[in-house]
Amino acid sequence: MILGFNRGEDYIEVLCGTTNKVYGDYAGRLKINNNGEYFITCECCPGCPLVNVTPEAFEKHALKEGTGRWKSNIWVHCEDEDRVPLWKTPLTKYYTHQANVANWKDSAMRKRNFHRDEFLHCTSCRKERRFRLKNRPDIKNYHEALNNKSWTCSLWPYHKITCDDDEERPSLRASRGCSRSSTCQGCSTCYCEGCIKCRFEDCNCQECRDFMLYAEP
């Protein structure tokens, strides 16, 4: 049903494109291999040097940099409809985050998904220590600490402390940084069930593995 469909030994390929409101359509060929990797070769003009790049790089080439909506911006032609967004086609079922790290790595750093502060108990003194999840490195620090069954105060990533240092007062711990309410205990604004900003391709925990292999692009 998709125009330009071609099946190779270890890949499938279709015609694709994206539209710039000023310069018009940028045509290309989308290749998906057996591992679920997405590559696009641009055919916007003869001799275009863009070969086997990520969907996000193809977006940037079409001057759509920063949109991060490649599933909607990149389209294919079907027999009964023109310019069908990728997310409406069966092609996205082959996509995995694990196989396409290069496509989302930069956008993960730009994502503005809010993550509230979290607390972790020291396994030695049982005091709670705050982790501020402002960016992906901060979230990675908390994620690794959470998966460390012998985490102690000395491993706190912000500055050196010991189990002798006082923990935060209960009145301060009640605030976890939610922009909607200072005393929020978890809402749709500040609680995340998993996104490309807080799941990691090099982590072997069940949550990260499931997200990288099965979460929608």
Q: What is the DSSP letter of 103?
A: H
Residue 131 CA to residue 111 CA, distance in Å, equals 19
Please give the chain's pLDDT, 217 residues, in tens: 888 899 999 999 999 999 988 888 999 999 999 988 999 999 988 889 999 998 988 988 888 755 568 889 999 999 888 899 999 999 988 888 888 887 777 666 655 668 889 999 999 999 999 999 988 899 999 999 999 999 999 999 999 999 999 999 988 888 887 777 777 777 777 778 888 888 998 999 999 999 888 888 7
Longest CA span, the chain: 70
Is beta strand 11-20 parallel, antiparallel or unpaired with respect to 6-7? antiparallel
Q: How far apart are CA 70 and CA 133, in angstroms?
A: 27
Neighbours of 104 (CB within 10 A): 20
Q: Where are the domains of the chain?
A: 6-109, 118-214
CB 24, CB 82: distance < 8 Å: no
| Amino acid making up residue 215 | A
Q: Which pLDDT does position 180 carry in this prediction?
A: 75
Structure confidence at residue 108 (pLDDT): 63
pTM check: above 0.75: no
